Structure 1
Amino acid sequence: MTDSTTVGQQTYLTYKSRYIGLFAIVLLNISTGFVWLTYSSVSDAAQGYLNCDDTVVNVTSILYFVAYLIMGPVSGWMFEKKGIKKSLFFGAAIQVIGALLRYLANFVESTPASPGGRLALTLIGQIIAASAQPFFLNVPPKYAAVWFSENGRTTATMIGSVSNAFAAALAQLIIPEITKDKDSMSTSVLICLILSAVAIIPVIFMSERPPTPPSPSAAEALLETAEEPFWVSLRKVGSNKQFLILMFLFGTFVGFFNAFSSLISQFAKPYDYNANEAGYFGAAMIVAGLVGAGIAGPVIDRNKQFKTLLKTMVPLATLLYIVFIFVVRKDFFIGIIVVSALLGLFSFALLPIVLELGIECTYPVTPASSTSLLWGSGQFFAVIFLLVLGALQDEQKSRDTGINPPLIFIGVWCLLATFPVYLYKSPYLRLESESRSRAEYAISKQEYGMEEVPLEDTK
């Protein structure tokens, strides 16, 4: 037993076994991050391996975002109908199938004159593996809501949510080290297959639901009759004006992160930075972001100042995107690393903040609905940004002027996206509901002399 509270005749407990499920979510997100960036993190080697141009390599990333838009609602429906464990296992299984097809493509001959077979099988495998990602991205807030108390939910959401970004950092560092040329591309593809298979193991050992809920809101969520149909919840969330503000902000910053992770090597190439050095820029952003999110999660769990941090982090992240326009230039490696790290530090804390606010402003609607739409907006914007940034990329112009047009677009868009944050004014509906439940119990205990229910030991 790690924590306990008694309200009325209901005892709220947290269980150590909740960390098994959280570990499973983290590992699944790490595996999907590696599969996502297998090719785009080493664009030159991938082009030689698949005998294609950089546009097709970019498509391997875009497929992930398109697949989310299709499978995101499906994952939310499955969480409602089949539960967390079965849904995660399904997602993990189809990721393995997709990763396996990608590896089998290695045995299909590919030449510049006849690239079709290997390329087609690779893209089919990528589509199938991409269909699994929504199951892993959408689950952290829902899992935290039913397994963690209000004093640990944000931290659990943070850990689960940033694990995908952590995977992007690892992928950008590790894959370029493994993939030196087109001949070693198959090794990276095999490693991704192994990682996907290993990620299934902890899912087998996680529990579907806690024996006793950790909070009043979790007790409601765990009642099978409490949650309305997923599609009804989705419509309610989509018509909430305060939620739509969060959706636009989340879509903007997640979309740019995804596009940045996919195209960083292309942004840096005009200034003579190789794939390994470009990987360091992305890794610096993500590692510093993990530190920022790691600090923000426990702090928010204690003081619950979601809105204050939201209105602080968004302008700071925007300022750093603007600064980024001017620091990405030749022979300024350390400067790019520093600004990348600062950008990650301030912007990554937005992930758990917005995901938790999405639940707070739509409560008592199921968390799967708000999470699906938030991540869906991120993937939708990512597709748009990838297409726009790819069209704006002009290697020769960047060399001549010293300024990269796609980075200008990012800075201007973020500046415009900053203003809506000050329109967000929704109360904390879930926290207020839990506070009322505890206050009602305190009053009834005083009036009727109720005694606390004995606590049972938990595993």
Structure 2
Amino acid sequence: MDAEKKNIEKFELDKSEYAEIKLYAIRWIVMGVASLYAASNAIQWLEYSIITNIIVKYYGVSSVTVDWTSMIAMGLYPVCMLPAMYLINKGGLRFCVLVGIIGTTIGAWIKIFSIRPDLFWVSFMGQVVVFAFQTFILSLPPKIAAVWFGPNEISTACFIGIFGTQLGTALSFVLPPLIVKNHDNLDEIGQELSYLFYGIAVFCTVTTILVFIFFKSEPPLPPSKVQAELRANKVPFSMEEFWKSYKVLMMNKNFWLLTISFGINLGVYISFCTMLNQIILEYFANAEKDAGLIGLLLVVTGMIGLIIFGIILDKTKKYKIFQTAYYGVGFEFGLELTYPQPESTSIGILIAIVQVFGIGFTLLFGQLIAYFGTFWALIPMVGFLIFGGIITLIIPNKLLRQEALQESPERTTFLPVIEKNGDALG
């Protein structure tokens, strides 16, 4: 009992009510399981496009058709965003994560039945199902971090959640070229595709079981003053409140500057990843494996950056940073600019704009590669990145959430009853 009390703080919400604050050690397991879910979805993003030439040979489809197996992820997100955000706000985190991972797993198993040269449409249907449910995970790491973690570890926790998406992307670069080789015999290609599809389906199934056992919507006690106040002042969910948050964000000029720069930077990144196989093979024949390794290096360095910059953000709250780390930093900056609007709403808009830019850039750069060559596609990529960087520089550094986390002069009744840093198992 004494150990339990050592991990609780109390502060006064108003003249008559006190709230307890507590950090639960299980929060790291919750975020870890969510990260695995993100990985199980992202691992299927480049599953086909990183071996475009092999897929073209086996299924007899065009390279543009193969590009759409990854672009469908970008196309479905804006369409599915509003229904998913509605369910996240109404049904809670656990409900949405369960729905998302079950949908991802069903899509992965559908692709098992596409091992025949005339069944590409089955593979594509599996991709559609997988990425119809990606909306439930891409916007959740900041929400989970806010609900479960203390104010000095939110950025690090958020980046751990995003780490899963990057891990899945890294695996989608490296596993297909390692497992599926460019054989002359189509039966051998089909056999190796089955290994790939079964492996991913089993991984998704195991992740579903872990989510069901370990993932919870929120801890019994809030982790911070802000979360305690949000719980105390919680308004019952309604469509009016749901749409109100979007209307508020539409009027936030600083958020829209971030949205444009975020969309440009990440849009270029995902279009480059989608076409990496085609870019490499233009100069190096039969280099599918090398294209995968280059993509792996690209993502791994970004994953290291995510963790490093997550720690830096928790210490400094400086949000202007570049490229792959921009994925996590942009999320956190967006929450600062839009507080106290729901995390899932602001992050959902950021991701939706990224997907729109990603489709546009992929189609644009694909045409440039087809008609003028890879060099003339890379030049505008660099130009767009520079433009996105300039926009980032002019965004005001308004940290509304950090201001809320600081104790106001009027509130002097924060009463820590013991040391702040202990963990208790929840």
Please, what TM-score do these two structures have when normalized by structure 2? 0.89
Partner of 1:195: 203
Q: Give the CA deviation at 1:5.
A: 4.0
Q: By how many angstroms is 1:440 displaced?
A: 4.3
Query: 1:185 & 1:294 partners in 2: Cα distance?
Result: 33
User: Quick one: distance in 2 between partners of 1:145 and 1:366?
Assistant: 10
User: Residues 300-315 of structure 1 correspond to what in structure 2 (within 5 A)?
Assistant: 300-306=313-319, 310=320, 313-314=321-322
Match of 1:207 in 2: 216
Q: Is contact 1:227-1:366 (8 Å) kept?
A: no
Aligned residue for 1:359? 335
The residue number in structure 1 matching 2:379 is 408
State the 1:453 CA deviation. 8.2
Equivalent residues in 2 for 1:227-306, closer than 5 Å: 229-272=241-284, 274-306=287-319
AA in 2 matched with 1:389: F
SS of equivalent to 1:349:
helix
Cα distance in 2 between the residues matched to 1:247 and 1:451? 38
Distance 1:298 1:48, change over 3 A: same
Q: Which amino acid aligns with 1:158?
A: F
The one-letter amino acid of 2:297's match is A
CA, structure 1 residues 47+222, in 2 after alignment: closer, same or farther (shift >3 Å)?
farther
CA shift for structure 1 position 409: 1.5
Quick one: percent identity of the two aligned structures? 25
Unaligned runs of 5+ residues in structure 1 are 315-346
> What whole-Å deviation, never above 9, does each CA across 1:178-227 have from its counterpart, x for those lacking one?
01143222221221211221221221122221111111222244454177
Contact 2:255 2:334 in 1 (8 A): yes
Are the counterparts in 2 of residues 11 and 453 from structure 1 also a CA contact under 8 Å?
no
2:10, 2:416 within 8 Å by CA — same for their partners in 1? no
| Alpha-carbon contact 1:146-1:221 (below 8 Å) kept | no
Letter in 1 for 2:299: I
One-letter amino acid of the counterpart of residue 293, structure 2: Y
Number of equivalenced pairs? 403
From the superposition, tell whether residues 103 and 404 of structure 1 become closer, same or farther in structure 2 (CA, over 3 Å). same
Of the two structures, which has the highest relative contact order with CA contacts closer than 8 Å and spacing of 6 or more?
A: 2
Matched, 1:171 2:180: no
Whole-angstrom distance in 2 between the partners of 1:421 and 1:454: 39
Q: Is the deviation greater in 141-150 or in 48-57?
A: 48-57
Q: State the 1:243 CA deviation.
A: 0.3
Are 1:21 and 1:202, in contact at CA under 8 Å, matched by a contact in 2? no
Counterpart AA for 1:187: Y
Task: Say whether 1:348 aligns with 2:324.
Answer: yes
CA distance in 1, matches of 2:163, 2:362: 21
- The aligned counterpart of 1:66 is 75
For 2:416 and 2:28, the matched residues in 1 are separated by 31
Whichever residue aligns with residue 35 of structure 1, its letter is: Q
Residues 20 and 202, structure 1, Cα contact 8 Å, conserved in 2: no
Q: Distance in 1 between matches of 2:393 and 2:416?
A: 46
Structure 1 counterpart of 2:337, one-letter code: C
Kindly provide the amino acid, as one letter, of the partner of residue 381 in structure 1: F
User: 2:300 is aligned with what amino acid?
Assistant: V
The aligned residue for residue 15 of structure 2 is none
Conserved? CA contact 1:227–1:365, under 8 Å: no
1:16-70 deviations in Å (ceiling 9; x for gaps): 1112221121111111112222111111221223221111110101111111111
What residue number does 1:342 align with?
A: none
Following the alignment from structure 2 to structure 1, what is the Cα–Cα distance between the partners of residues 289 and 334? 37
The Cα shift of 1:428 comes to 1.1
Which letter maps to 1:62?
M
CA gap of 1:454–1:406, structure 2 versus 1, over 3 A, is: closer
Structure 1: how far apart are the matches of 2:220 and 2:126? Answer: 38
TM-score (structure 1 length as normaliser): 0.83
1:268 is displaced (CA, Å) by 1.1
Question: In 2, Cα distance between the equivalents of 1:96 and 1:243?
Answer: 34
Displacement, 1:458?
4.5
Deviation per CA, 1:250-297: give whole Å up to 9, x if none.
111221221122111111112115111111211111111111111111
Mapped to 1, the partners of 2:419 and 2:28 lie a distance apart of 25
Change (3 A) 1:275 1:457: closer
Q: Distance in 2 between matches of 1:126 and 1:295?
A: 32
Q: Which secondary structure does the structure 1 equivalent of 2:267 belong to?
A: helix
In structure 1, the partner of 2:27 is 18
Structure 2 counterpart of 1:424, from 387, 395, 411 = 395
The Cα offsets for residues 137-175 of structure 1, whole Å up to 9 and x where unpaired, read as 110001111101111100111111232122111221122
Give the secondary structure class of the aligned counterpart of 1:52.
coil
Matched, 1:27 2:36: yes
Secondary structure of residue in 2 paired with 1:200: helix
Distance 1:161 1:405 in 2: 32
1:95 and 2:96 are equivalent in the alignment = no
